[in-house]
Structure 1
């Protein structure tokens, strides 16, 4: 990918789970590169610094289907069309081996997958119609090497990766049926630990729009070591 990103300029990108450190980094990098950013999260107060960066903010529970649908309808009524989604909803819970993998921890982690499903389904038509759509998630190396103490976490991340791969196939199928070149791509960033790599992630997210869709669709991009 080119060192200096330009392809994202003029695109509208939703950063889901934007109040995290990685969300702040991605939002700032996208705005600096000329994108219009919608920063979404549950806490309006924590979204305020992102608004100060120049992002449009949206306070809603992305794991709630009705809230996401209402938000998508509002955006559509305004004539806004998405060109990308950066999905950063998630967290880590674990420990205690297999017996320690509680239902409460699993449900909390599952909210990330649920949010991914809701958001990508709600904006699917926008993404397919976009001249340059990009969707990315942050997953974990635990998917390739799951440990007993992180089984809940690895299982949810594996499901998220599967959803993204299904999106990639859907993008390819839509382009093929329309007799058009592939313009949309869904990718997975996989990392062992994200702390300290937020700026690297943000830069790589921006550069997704500088790569050809058929080169990066349905790929896993490692971060860190």
Structure 2
């Protein structure tokens, strides 16, 4: 094989995935916290868009159900599941390394690890809530961003997407721990975006980090349980999943370091 052919093959392998009409053919997207309702919706939409989807969660049984559902809905889609302790940096790095080695690239990390604790008043805040939320909402962001930064840069069209809450920008008295945790996670993600910006130098960044902001999420089971509730300002998990896919439709420089509001900005 000629040197020219070898170079053409390498360029094809490492070029950004094809993504027209909302498609992510050829992309490899990892989803952290994939077993919940938002994760399930994301797996379904990403698989439908043509991506190879690599899902992770701490709950093996729920993760297996989510992966099977995405595979069943989109026959032929590659959707895998891996039980990963995202509170362990080494385990998170190992997940990223395995994924890149197996599939040859990583084009996205969607961070959906959630959790909520709150109180009736500010004075009743339990600092044990902060200790838990710091792990779930901040530490997991730190670990996934550190583990996936380099692979996302190598992609040439990588995306690191954090789903956050409007309360991070306008905290309420009973949500001090939750809002502070979300605000810290947003700041960390935007710092990753600055790293991508610097990696691009005078050119466009090789990847983008962005925050998708919702008031709260709603899904079909919630509506069934509370048929009279309006869920005003809530974002349906299916709409969130579509917004995640849509981020690849925009150039990295337009997305990087931004907050993308899916609910009215306070």
TM-score normalised according to structure 2 size: 0.78
Q: Structure 2 residue aligned with 1:182, among 201, 205, 210?
A: 205
CA RMSD of aligned residues (A): 1.8
| 1:146-187 Cα deviation digits (max 9, x unpaired) | 1110000010000011011101111010010xx543231111
Provide the residue aligned with 1:116 in structure 2: 141
Query: Which whole-Å CA distance do the structure 2 matches of 1:127 and 1:83 have between them?
Result: 6
> Aligned residue for 1:193?
216
Equivalent in the alignment of 1:30: 46
The answer for unaligned runs of 5 or more in structure 2 is 1-18, 72-78, 220-235
Mapped to 2, the partners of 1:187 and 1:147 lie a distance apart of 24
The match for 1:63 among 87, 110, 126 is: 87
Structure 1, residues 108-128: CA drift from partner, whole Å, max 9, x if none? 211221111111101211011
Unaligned 5+ segments in structure 1 are: none
SS, match of residue 156 in structure 2: coil
Choose which of 111, 126, 130 in structure 1 pairs with 2:151. Answer: 126
With over 3 angstroms needed to count, the CA separation of the structure-2 counterparts of 1:198 and 1:153, relative to structure 1, is same
User: Offset of 1:78 from its aligned partner?
Assistant: 3.2
Match of 1:95 in 2: 119
Contact 2:31 2:39 in 1 (8 A): yes
**2:129 alignment partner in structure 1:** 105
- Residue 85 (str. 1) matches residue 102 (str. 2): no
1:153 partnered with 2:153: no
Deviation of 1:224 after TM superposition, in Å, equals 3.3
- Give the aligned length: 221
TM-score between the two structures when normalised by the length of structure 1: 0.92
Q: Using CA pairs under 8 Å that are at least 6 residues apart, name the structure with larger relative contact order, 1 or 2.
A: 1
Q: Secondary structure at the match of 2:34?
A: coil
Aligned mates of 1:4, 1:76 — CA distance in 2: 26
The answer to whether the 8 A contact 1:94-1:100 is kept is no
